[in-house]
Amino acid sequence: MASFLQISDDEKGHDLDLFCIPRHYESDLDKVIIPHGLIMDRTERLARDIIRDMGGHHIVALCVLKGGYKFFADLLDYIKVLNHNSDKSVPLTVDFIRAKSYCNDKSTNSVKVIGGDELSNLAGKDIVETGRTMQTLLSLLSECNPKMVKVVSLLVKRTPRSSGYRPDYIGFEVPDAFLVGYALDYNEYFRDLSHICILNEEAKEKYKM
């Protein structure tokens, strides 16, 4: 079972005034729930775990855009540092896929995958994947006969809507709230926010499509 850092349902979070928040978002957020520094420290540990488990394999790191790009880049930076400074290193190549499943704050029942025409190149490879809408993507990947697939997700949400799927590597288990920041968006806003924050109800209306 994957280990993770749990953010409890009654977590009070942190006052926005304690952090550097872009002025254009100050009125849109309830609180900071995971500060950027904590995200980075946890990501560094995930990188170490991946190197420990998969050292010696050639890994194709597949990023799920757009929400996964910051986590993906930071995770790969930590893996690169470990490759440079460790006896066990991982040959690494990267690829990208885009998946879209949200409209406003509601998850749709369909996942739109963009960029899957190159997945045939993954046959026989070890794949580490980052992102959210995993089951559709895992089904697509299985058709390409990869040697092994491991999923890394920064966040797993506790929600009654969950299918029960759990990634192989988890950063944080979080409450069932709509989270933005660190490349997670609400209708394309808030990707430029460094911390992971809870979006308030007024902002959901303000940025509604």
pLDDT digits (tens, 9 = 90+) for 52-73: 888 678 888 988 888 889 999 9
In sequence order, what are the beta bridge partners of 173?
Answer: 6, 156
Domain that holds residue 79: 5-206
Q: In whole angstroms, what separates CA 99 from the centre of its chain?
A: 12
From edge to edge, which strands make up the β-sheet containing 92-103?
Answer: 5-6, 169-174, 148-157, 126-130, 59-65, 92-103, 106-114
Among candidate residues 113, 102, 131, the one with its CA nearest the CA of residue 207: 102
Domain count, the chain: 1
The CATH number assigned to the domain holding 167 equals: 3.40.50.2020
Asked whether 195 and 182 are in contact (CB, 8 A), the reply is: yes
In this prediction, residues 10-38 reach a mean pLDDT of: 95
pLDDT digits (tens, 9 = 90+) for 93-121: 898 887 765 555 655 555 566 665 455 55
pLDDT digits (tens, 9 = 90+) for 145-182: 888 888 899 998 888 777 677 889 999 999 989 999 99
Q: Is 61 exposed, middle or buried (0-12, 13-18, 19+ CB in 10 A)?
A: buried
**132 — pLDDT class (breaks 50, 70, 90):** very low
